[in-house]
């Protein structure tokens, strides 16, 4: 029904509707961002992790902090899971959240800023103090009608920062990303902190600061460097930041180790080709069993065969399953993923299709032997599977893994 309404209403009217709704929220809640130090984090991958790490740094440094990500909402000591299937909440909720943060005495608010949220003006009437750019790969291309429009949508966070009346504004930019110059240009007039691993001109690199973290993967090195840039911008000593990051053990649904022995089972949110490949590269073992679908029916169909190609390259066994089909036929989604396999790769030994996600997880666990790795991607700690007609099925990959693991023969778990 919502999709039909969107098709019937002219786009300019929808734009005005979203804009006026955001303005109304700011007005009702008295423009709360003026009383907070607000930091926006944008990019394709890593946003939630950076928000989490920045929040850790600020809190462990003695600052009461509020934050919003696709994982959780947090105001000081109070936190609750994000069950909205929406990272930047609309319908006045974002401004209400910021007002509550002010009321509870928070000094900082750290926000995950998405291109879809920007598209619907949800970043408007928020006075930002700082902006972080993580990286940019192809995502939401169909919704934005091209990569350049997608990039420009991300750039609007930095344009909003430039217009902000706050003092001592700053930007944190990943200069290893091919699109870094675009965001650096938008950051003129702010204090710029650059980070990277490969770019020798980066101010913050693992070698220069002797970074040590327990979070796995090169991508988490990047996420940590971004968080360090924010910490430094707020006058927090580098040694203190490094000590805080060294003690961070992990994030829900992000490379989360759910089963450790006799084989390992990881759950991760990876839902883009780039993030999927980085996860596989991080945990690559001699025998890897991969369970995934393609996140979001009815959108970003281009990435499905690409994800199939990547899985075929890294995984020894692949189980394609249902994820969030919405109103699209799950079988069609699976067929699109299979298009990324060459004919020689589509064998009964390598590829299985099990639409029921619980059964797919059960099968993966039954195939695993001592020393193997099972990796289940696409949902992380998301609490729902979204199916047709707006229906949501309660779900948690981690819970299902634990339940199905307990059903295995005791000998396989000894």
Q: Which residues does 392 contact at the CB level (< 8 Å), separation at least 6?
A: 85, 384, 385, 386
pLDDT (mean) for 55-70: 98
pLDDT (mean) for 341-351: 74
Distance (Å, rounded) from C-alpha 168 to C-alpha 340? 48
pLDDT (mean) for 280-288: 89
Using only C-alpha atoms, what is the Rg of the chain?
Answer: 21
pLDDT (mean) for 367-382: 95
- Give 109's pLDDT tier (boundaries 50, 70, 90): very high
Output the pLDDT for position 1. Answer: 43
What does each C-alpha distance from 269 to 135, 256, 266, 331 come to in angstroms? 16, 10, 10, 21
pTM score of the predicted model: 0.91
Query: DSSP alpha helices (H): ranges in 11-114?
Result: 11-28, 47-60, 93-103
Question: For the segment 26-61, what is each residue's pLDDT rounded down to a tens digit?
Answer: 999 999 999 999 999 999 999 999 999 999 999 999
Question: For the segment 143-166, what is each residue's pLDDT rounded down to a tens digit?
Answer: 667 789 999 999 999 999 999 999
Dihedral (Cα; 140, 146, 151, 155), 10-degree rounding: -100
Query: What is the secondary structure of 180-216 as a DSSP string?
Result: HHHHHHHTTTSEEEEE-SS-TT-SB-HHHHT----S-
- The helix (run of H) or strand (run of E) holding residue 280 is helix 273-283
Answer yes or no: is pLDDT of 140 > 70.
Answer: no
Output the pLDDT for position 142. Answer: 60
Listed range (3-7, 81-85, 100-104, 299-303) with the worst mean pLDDT: 3-7
Residues paired with residue 279 on neighbouring β-strands, in sequence order: none
**By percentage, how much of the chain surpasses pLDDT 90?**
79
What is the residue-averaged pLDDT of the chain?
92
pLDDT (mean) for 354-377: 96
């Amino acid at each position: 029904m919502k999709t039909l309404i969107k098709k019937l209403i002219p786009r300019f009217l929808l734009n005005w509707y979203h804009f006026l709704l955001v303005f109304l929220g700011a007005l009702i809640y008295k423009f709360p961002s003026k009383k907070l130090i607000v930091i926006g984090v944008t990019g394709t991958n890593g946003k939630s992790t950076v928000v989490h790490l920045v929040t850790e740094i600020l809190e462990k440094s003695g600052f009461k902090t509020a934050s919003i990500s696709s994982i959780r909402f947090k105001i000081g000591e109070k936190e609750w899971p994000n069950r909205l299937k929406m990272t930047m909440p609309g319908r006045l909720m974002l401004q209400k959240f910021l007002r509550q943060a002010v009321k509870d005495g928070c000094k900082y608010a750290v926000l995950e800023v998405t291109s879809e949220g920007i598209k619907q003006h949800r970043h408007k009437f928020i006075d930002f103090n700082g902006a972080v750019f993580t990286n940019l790969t192809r995502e939401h291309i169909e919704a934005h009608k091209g990569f350049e429009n997608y990039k420009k949508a991300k750039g609007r966070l930095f344009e909003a920062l430039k217009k902000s009346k706050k003092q001592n504004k700053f930007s944190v930019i990943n200069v290893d990303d091919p699109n870094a110059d675009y965001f650096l240009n938008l950051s003129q007039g702010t204090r710029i902190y650059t980070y990277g691993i490969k770019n020798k001109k980066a101010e913050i690199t693992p070698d220069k600061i002797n970074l040590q973290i327990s979070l796995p993967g090169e991508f988490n090195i990047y996420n940590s460097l971004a968080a360090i840039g924010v910490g430094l911008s707020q006058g927090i000593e580098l040694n203190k930041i490094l000590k805080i990051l060294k003690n961070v053990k992990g994030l829900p649904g992000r490379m989360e180790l759910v089963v450790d022995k006799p084989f390992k089972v990881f759950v991760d949110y990876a839902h883009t080709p780039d993030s999927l490949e980085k996860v596989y590269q991080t945990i690559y073992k001699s025998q890897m069993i991969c369970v995934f679908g393609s996140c979001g029916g009815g959108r970003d169909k281009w990435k499905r065969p690409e994800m199939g190609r990547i899985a075929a390259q890294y995984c020894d066994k692949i189980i394609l399953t249902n994820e969030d089909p919405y109103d699209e036929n799950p079988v069609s989604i699976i067929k699109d993923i299979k298009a990324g396999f060459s004919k020689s790769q589509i064998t009964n030994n390598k590829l299985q299709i099990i639409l029921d996600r619980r059964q797919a997880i059960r099968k993966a666990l039954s195939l695993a032997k001592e020393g193997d790795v099972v990796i289940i991607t696409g949902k992380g700690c998301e609490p729902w599977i979204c199916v047709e007609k707006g229906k949501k099925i309660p779900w948690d990959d981690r819970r299902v893994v634990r339940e199905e693991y307990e059903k295995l023969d005791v000998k396989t778990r000894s």
